[in-house]
Structure 1
């Protein structure tokens, strides 16, 4: 097995519980790690035996910039379930959704949710 990392993808979405989050929107970052059998791709240098970074990015972009959710847990869940459904080569999917500027008084750092989902 191998791992493919797609780190620090940045998007603009309208997810949140508070009215200003869904009205104004905000930045979201996504880190993605997928576990794939990379042996054949490495031996053949053929993308057919791996998963395209660009395609995974496009899936994450469509979800984060699409339908608004109240919770970033739901955003992460949707990303994981769609990646597992779209790419048969992915065995395990780790998704971290980061909200860099949460509207918490006196809080000037990020919050995040990280999940792991697999085919089993």
Structure 2
């Protein structure tokens, strides 16, 4: 049965980018995560041990965003890997990172990348 956890519009100030000034000045990033796992035990038990704490997911996101990288793809890959390492019951993660002030011409809300990955659960790959 499909269940999902969402973290929406997590706003973090960080220092990522290819240009040297991006690593000095920094900017805001907006992160959105969609995580698939079975939440029905928690729905019945009302026990945090039967679910994945979104506070723990948020902590991983914040910790990884502190590590400077040239590419947002690299940051997203690290976040997805860390979340999966901590919570093996996750079958799928989709993560979008938006740089709110990319150093480009024109006015825009931001530039984004999105990575998604399915994980092996019980010998089968879910959600593919």
Tell me the TM-score range normalised by the shorter chain.
over 0.9
Q: CA RMSD in A?
A: 1.0
Instruction: Please say if 1:106 is aligned against 2:93.
Output: no
Runs of 4+ in 1 over 4 A off after TM superposition: none
Aligned residues: 119
CA shift, 1:109, in A, is: 2.5
- CA deviation digits over 1:61-107, x for unaligned, max 9? 0011x221101111111110110001122111111111111110223
Gaps of 5+ in 1: none
> TM-score if structure 2 supplies the norm length?
0.88
CA shift, 1:119, in A, is: 1.7
8 Å contact kept, 1:102–1:109: no
8 Å contact kept, 1:50–1:89: no
> TM-score if structure 1 supplies the norm length?
0.94
- The residue matched to 2:101 in structure 1 has which SS? coil
Instruction: Please say if 1:37 is aligned against 2:38.
Output: yes
- The residue matched to 1:57 in structure 2 has which SS? helix
In the aligned structure 2, how far is the partner of 1:3 from the partner of 1:30? Answer: 16
> 1:23: which partner in 2?
24
Aligned 1:51-66 pairs, distance under 5 A: 51-64=52-65, 66=66
> 1:46: which partner in 2?
47
Gaps of 5+ in 2: 121-128
